Amino acid sequence: MTERSRRSVQRRQHELVIGPSALQWDGQSLRLDLEEVGMPLPWRVRGQVRVWPQALSRFATPLDVDGRHHWGPIAPCARIEVDLQQPSLRWQGHAYLDSNEGDEPIARPFRCWDWSRAALRDGSTAVIYDVRNKTGPDRVIAQRFKPDGSNEPFEAPPRQVLRKSNWGISRTMRSAADAAPAEIEQTLEDTPFYARSVLGSSMLGERVQSVHETLDVPRLVARSTRFMLPWRMPRVR
């Protein structure tokens, strides 16, 4: 990830260009052409990613009490093809694409959240957004998104405590209490303020594999994290 200035961004109806990389919608798929440099040790990231939605979703909902932050999936049931030249990597599988937006800094309303999504047997995607606000009640969103673009709510199962990340972040997962406990199968990202993992869990009567993330907001805005961020996310004007 590279932060770039306004002069590096071009936006048209079906295309978004950010520096040397671009996203383009052709009416059927979203194509990402990547030309970046990885950090903290410089290495090339070059190639193409394509996402084919089965249907586009119009669902959106506020995350905070005052309704200044919103989340909604764009393509909750989708297929992806990854074709990278650097590093040499090709694969395809199930995909998911969503959007978060806010009208104020993220640290103002939130303490933390746990989020997960899982592909179900019928091709639908179950998403749980478990948000803890600084003031007011917690916000728990549990929605099942179907391949035809429709969605329906479901009752979120109780929280289960997961083992802490290597950076000491506390994590939970909502998984059926009467089934096998949720367990971490693979860690994808482990940072001082954010962790992303693959979990085995139980949802809607199925044993599923979930992509799970935890965000610790006080850690995100800590001075130590701000000092480290430029080493992972350089700024280019």
Residue 3 lies inside a defined structural domain of this protein? no
Nearest to 144 by CA among 128, 119, 125, 130: 125
Residue 2 lies inside a defined structural domain of this protein? no
The pTM for the full model equals 0.92
232: confidence class by pLDDT, cuts 50, 70, 90: confident
Residue 1 lies inside a defined structural domain of this protein? no
Indicate the range of 18-27, 66-75, 173-182, 187-196 predicted with least confidence.
Answer: 173-182
Question: What is the reported pLDDT for 93?
Answer: 95
Tokens of 17: 């260009």
Q: Which domain holds residue 177?
A: 8-236
Residue 160 lies inside a defined structural domain of this protein? yes
Nearest to 61 by CA among 122, 138, 140: 140
The total domain count for the chain is: 1
Residue 118 lies inside a defined structural domain of this protein? yes
State the Cα angle at 195 between 44 and 8, rounded to 5°.
40
